[in-house]
């Protein structure tokens, strides 16, 4: 998607093909800064410090981390050490593990001499596959937006939570891919952007990427979505997800469940966009079976932003001495999900039967 009018991805190989470059997402939305990752350790640091974030982008960055390492040391021992170190950068990121294991599976059978080139190709392939998946999600989701537009014949209002945009992937995004596709198709739309406390990915990342691409949007606090839906100001909700269980329960950023309840209460369709590998067939009851990560209190107690001096400052909002709990995700039961939007198609009233039917096609 565009930044300042120029097409941009979140990760790309350097002109001399010896390194990869990324956007330092910790500096957004206030500064657009790119970084060059020359070594596996640079990639590991970018993942750990969340300069790259979003499941697909983390997986691709890790794959390139393996590739960068193989150029210097391609022994079995080096491959193992590389994979171990990258895995430790964000131990709970499922896609990180997936990307690394895919690289390991491709590289392990090869000779040391073959590994560097094969690793670079495989990482590039993973990146291109991500783009293709997201474009397909975009096309399937665009059809849903078009339907609403044809029915209403005015601008379509879409609410999203967190950032499942191109910044979380290599390009296009998951939840935002249908929106970018609809913009390309000249369907008039406007996006309500949930701030997404505590890390403010909506206010900082989603608002920034929509703004850079020229998509009409309005930032709201997470508390506002129910009110907007009561007053007919939301035509559909589209969110991404971290994991979907076999029966269609959706684990996504904390607060997603509240928006799904409000959508259900007001007859607003609630869509979840995802690549099909996000489905975890080993799980059924998401609320009972998915462990929810508890994150550091400082994400709640302190907020960073741009101060009058043009620098990023951090301020404390809670009183010293008050305890804080910080749950990263919640689970939206399948009964509240209108449909899943995948690269293979749309699954209405998701359950194991119709999800498996989609994949069998």
Residue numbers annotated as active site: 242
Among 134, 278, 301, 342, binds a second copy (CB under 8 A): 301
What does the alpha-carbon distance between residue 165 and residue 8 come to, in Å, rounded to a whole number? 13
Among 303, 351, 354, 358, binds a second copy (CB under 8 A): 303
- Judged by CB under 8 A, the stretch of 51-59, 165-173, 236-244, 258-266 that binds a second copy is 258-266
Which position has the token pair 């014949």? Answer: 153
Question: Kind of pairing, strands 302-306 and 312-316?
Answer: antiparallel
Among 318, 349, 357, 359, binds a second copy (CB under 8 A): 318
Q: Are 232 and 148 in contact (CB under 8 A)?
A: no
- Judged by CB under 8 A, the stretch of 74-82, 181-189, 240-248, 254-262 that binds a second copy is 254-262
The DSSP output letter for 293 is P
284 part of the interface to a second copy, by CB under 8 A: no
Of the pair 29, 165, the CB lying nearest a second copy is at: 29
Q: Are 179 and 189 in contact (CB under 8 A)?
A: yes
Of the pair 48, 335, the CB lying nearest a second copy is at: 335
Q: Show the binding pattern over residues 6-45: x = contacts a second copy (CB under 8 A), - = does not.
A: ----------------------xxx---------------
The DSSP output letter for 47 is H
User: Minimum distance from CB of 90 to a second copy (Å)?
Assistant: 21
Q: Which of 213, 219, 165 is nearest to 192 (CA)?
A: 219
Instruction: Give me 268's structure tokens.
Output: 């607003």
Instruction: Give me 13's structure tokens.
Output: 């190989």
For a second copy, the binding residues in 185-224 under the rule CB under 8 A are: 192-193, 195-198, 200, 203-204, 207-208, 210-211, 216-224
Residue-level length of the chain:
361
The DSSP output letter for 278 is G
Of the pair 91, 321, the CB lying nearest a second copy is at: 321
What does the alpha-carbon distance between residue 44 and residue 80 come to, in Å, rounded to a whole number? 15
Q: Show the binding pattern over residues 341-360: x = contacts a second copy (CB under 8 A), - = does not.
A: --------------------
Largest Cα separation within the chain, whole Å, is 64
Q: What DSSP string describes 185-233?
A: TT--EEEEEE--TTTTHIIIIIHHHHHHHT--EEEE-GGGHHHHHHTT-
- Judged by CB under 8 A, the stretch of 107-115, 137-145, 166-174, 308-316 that binds a second copy is 308-316
Residues found near a second copy in the complex (CB under 8 A): 28-30, 192-193, 195-198, 200, 203-204, 207-208, 210-211, 216-228, 230-231, 253-255, 257-259, 261-262, 265, 287, 292, 300-308, 312-319, 321-327, 329-331
């Amino acid at each position: 998607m565009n930044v300042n009018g120029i097409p941009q991805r979140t990760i790309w190989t350097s002109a001399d093909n010896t390194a990869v470059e990324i956007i330092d997402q910790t500096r957004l939305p206030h500064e657009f800064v790119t970084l060059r990752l020359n070594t596996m350790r640079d990639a590991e640091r970018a993942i750990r410090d969340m300069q790259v974030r979003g499941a697909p982008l983390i997986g691709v960055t890790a794959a390139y981390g393996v590739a960068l390492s193989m150029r210097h040391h391609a022994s079995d021992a080096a491959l193992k050490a590389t994979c171990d170190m990258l895995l430790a950068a964000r131990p709970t990121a499922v896609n990180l593990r997936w990307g690394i294991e895919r690289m390991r599976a491709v590289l392990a059978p090869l000779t040391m001499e073959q590994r560097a080139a094969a690793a670079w190709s495989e990482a590039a392939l993973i990146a291109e596959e991500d783009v293709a998946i997201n474009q397909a999600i975009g096309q399937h989701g665009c059809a849903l937006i078009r339907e609403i537009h044809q029915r209403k014949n005015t601008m379509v209002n879409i609410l999203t939570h967190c950032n499942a945009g191109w910044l979380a992937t290599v390009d296009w995004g998951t939840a935002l891919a249908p929106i970018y596709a609809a913009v390309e198709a000249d369907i008039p739309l406007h996006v309500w952007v949930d701030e997404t406390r505590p890390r403010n990915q909506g206010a900082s990342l989603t608002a920034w990427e929509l703004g850079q691409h020229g998509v009409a949007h309005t930032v709201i606090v997470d508390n506002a979505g129910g009110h907007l839906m009561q007053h007919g100001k939301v035509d559909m909700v589209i969110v991404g997800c971290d994991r979907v269980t076999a029966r269609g329960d959706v684990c996504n950023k904390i607060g997603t469940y509240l928006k799904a309840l409000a959508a259900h209460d007001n007859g607003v369709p609630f869509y979840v966009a995802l690549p099909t590998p996000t489905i975890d067939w080993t799980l059924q009851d998401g609320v009972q079976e998915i462990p929810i990560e508890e994150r550091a209190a400082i994400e709640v107690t302190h907020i960073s932003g741009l101060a009058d001096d043009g620098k990023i400052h951090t301020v404390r909002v809670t009183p010293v001495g008050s305890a804080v709990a910080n749950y990263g995700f919640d689970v939206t039961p399948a009964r509240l999900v209108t449909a899943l939007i995948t690269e293979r198609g749309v699954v209405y009233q998701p359950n194991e039967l119709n999800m498996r039917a989609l994949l069998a096609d």
